[in-house]
């Protein structure tokens, strides 16, 4: 195991070194939060794939393959479909807006007053996404070092907080690109073929498993529909995803780079389900499907390769964790705190925006680590996050992009009604039930349509500014660099 340990330690040290390098580039708000909006197609597609394919997609995707066979690919597959839809239909327009958060987009489209409430909902989503990613460190470090759960969360979380705080989006972009390469090599090029061969090839797998394991719809139509509703639509509106779209240097990069990332996700989904199916042949009696990934890596891979594949799992977790962390901090600072500060101290003194965002990443990071230590049920936390996101924000965001008649009153009603409906229905039906997101989304849509039609249309001057931003005619306000003495 010494070789495996060395691989992991070198990898973690490299992540910190990239954080230090990124700090030298992050000299303005734009550089710190969206990498100066100048990523090309290769960097953009690699980092986008890295953030959407986290621990749930890797460890959880293999676990679903272990439990359901090839149809276990559907969770990650719907993530890929959402990324494809975002890239083809919306990403170019989103990138041209030159904003930093989803709530800023809502304010721009509806003429203000939608930001704080939508910001709170988005903050809750990004916080829980960061927490669930951070909890996954416990599983990986337990396999690597037989480490205590709390210590594992603190160690993994601290590394992510450190490089994210130092260099912001530049550090996260560089580390995500490395993580994308490591995941591709570790999961697709090494673990997948080795697992299939060890299980006796596809013919051997078919001979030892029920035919349901090879039914593409074996997981169930209702489950697939729920995945589409939560993950496909969730990809369209999440701050963590939009913040990556904002890094694209032009429309073409956002559209085609994102399309490449979405296609990669579809391949990754199938690979995870095949690995899980192979693990079912090799280890039919595992206590939990989520143990399948760690078990097959630990028992079937040679020394050195095992370290690289575990590094790939660690990369998957760290990329999602860091992306969710900077999204959480950006929303907390730009959509909530800056507005509250403006109310308390209107026209207040100028401040160093890069330093302020660093402080918020550090604060949010400590909060994420503490919450991850206290929380046990990852699935429930992630379900709450996505239910709130889709139930509260999907309608006003897509409505703003697609329907001219939508108003700020309709948007606020959709956020409030949808959010409260989801919370109430989760209390009644249970957190893991499908009904909360179904009915919550319908309630949000009804509120948006009725209130928008019952109120005065959005001011034409607001819509004119909106159209100019969508067309890329209004440049982003320059972000002042950090003073030299900083």
Q: Which residues pair with 39 in a beta bridge?
A: 248
With CA atoms as reference, report the closest residue to 58 among 372, 280, 276.
Answer: 276
Instruction: Clarify whether residues 328 and 392 are in a common domain.
Output: no
Instruction: Clarify whether residues 96 and 162 are in a common domain.
Output: yes
Instruction: Clarify whether residues 164 and 246 are in a common domain.
Output: yes
Number of CB atoms found within 10 A of residue 303's CB: 11
What is the distance between the alpha carbons of residues 215 and 71, in angstroms, rounded to a whole number? 6
Instruction: Clarify whether residues 135 and 229 are in a common domain.
Output: yes
With CA atoms as reference, report the closest residue to 177 among 83, 40, 84.
Answer: 40
Residues of the chain with pLDDT under 70: 1, 4, 22-26, 113-115, 143-144, 341-352, 376-379, 474-486
What residues make up the domain containing 441?
Answer: 379-471
pLDDT of residue 480: 38
- Give CA separation, 129 vs 11, 175, 245, in Å: 23, 19, 18
Condensed to tens digits (0 to 9), the pLDDT of residues 45-74 reads 998 998 888 777 888 889 999 999 999 999
The reply to whether 481 falls in a domain is no
When divided into structural domains, the chain yields a total of: 2
Which residues, at least 6 apart from 78, have a Cβ–Cβ distance to it below 8 Å? 224, 227, 228, 231, 232
Helix (H) or strand (E) holding 71: none
Instruction: Clarify whether residues 92 and 123 are in a common domain.
Output: yes
The reply to whether 86 falls in a domain is yes
The reply to whether 387 falls in a domain is yes
What is the distance between the alpha carbons of residues 478 and 481, in angstroms, rounded to a whole number? 9
pLDDT of residue 254: 92
Instruction: Clarify whether residues 138 and 212 are in a common domain.
Output: yes
Instruction: Clarify whether residues 238 and 360 are in a common domain.
Output: yes
pLDDT of residue 349: 52
- Could you tell me the pTM of the whole model? 0.85
């Amino acid at each position: 195991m010494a070789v495996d340990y060395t691989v992991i330690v070198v990898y973690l040290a490299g992540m910190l070194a990239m954080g230090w390098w990124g700090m030298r580039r992050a000299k303005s708000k734009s550089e710190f939060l969206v990498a100066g909006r100048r990523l090309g197609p290769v960097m953009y597609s690699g980092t986008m794939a890295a953030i959407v394919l986290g621990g749930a997609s890797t460890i959880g995707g293999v676990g679903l393959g272990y439990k359901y066979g090839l149809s276990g690919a559907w969770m990650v597959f719907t993530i890929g479909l959402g990324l494809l839809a975002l890239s083809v239909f919306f990403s170019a327009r989103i990138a041209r807006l030159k904003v930093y958060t989803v709530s800023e987009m809502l304010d721009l489209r509806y003429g203000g007053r939608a930001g704080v409430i939508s910001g709170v909902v988005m903050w809750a989503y990004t916080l829980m996404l960061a927490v669930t990613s951070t909890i996954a460190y416990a599983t990986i470090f337990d396999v690597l070092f037989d480490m205590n759960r709390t210590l594992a969360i603190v160690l993994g979380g601290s590394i992510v907080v450190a490089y994210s705080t130092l260099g912001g989006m530049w550090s996260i972009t560089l580390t995500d690109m490395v993580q994308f390469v490591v995941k591709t090599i570790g999961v697709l090029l090494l673990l997948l073929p080795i697992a299939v061969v060890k299980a006796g090839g596809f013919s051997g797998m078919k001979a030892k498993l029920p035919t349901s394991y090879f039914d593409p719809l074996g997981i169930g139509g209702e489950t697939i529909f729920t995945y589409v509703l939560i993950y496909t639509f969730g990809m369209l509106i999440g701050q963590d995803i939009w913040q990556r779209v904002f890094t694209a240097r032009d429309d073409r990069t956002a559209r085609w780079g994102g399309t490449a990332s979405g296609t990669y996700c579809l391949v990754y989904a199938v690979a995870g389900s095949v690995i899980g199916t192979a693990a079912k042949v090799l280890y039919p009696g595992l206590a939990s499907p989520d143990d399948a990934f760690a078990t097959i890596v630990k028992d079937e891979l040679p020394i050195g390769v095992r370290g690289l594949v575990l590094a790939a799992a660690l990369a998957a977790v760290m990329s999602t964790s860091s992306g969710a962390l900077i999204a959480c901090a950006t929303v907390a600072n730009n959509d909530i705190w800056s507005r509250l500060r403006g109310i308390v101290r209107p026209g207040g003194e100028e401040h160093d925006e890069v330093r302020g965002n660093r402080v918020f990443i550090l604060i949010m990071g400590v909060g994420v680590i503490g919450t991850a230590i206290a929380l046990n049920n990852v699935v429930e936390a992630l379900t709450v996050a996505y239910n709130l996101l889709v139930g509260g924000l999907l309608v006003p965001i897509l409505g703003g992009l697609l329907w001219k008649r939508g108003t700020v009153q309709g948007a606020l009603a959709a956020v409030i009604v949808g959010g409260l409906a989801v919370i109430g229905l989760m209390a009644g039906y249970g957190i893991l039930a499908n009904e909360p997101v179904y009915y919550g989304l319908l309630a949000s849509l009804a509120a948006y349509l009725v209130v928008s039609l019952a109120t005065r249309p959005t001011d034409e001057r607001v819509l004119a500014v909106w159209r100019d931003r969508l067309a890329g005619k209004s440049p982003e306000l320059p972000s002042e660099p950090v003073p030299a003495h900083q």
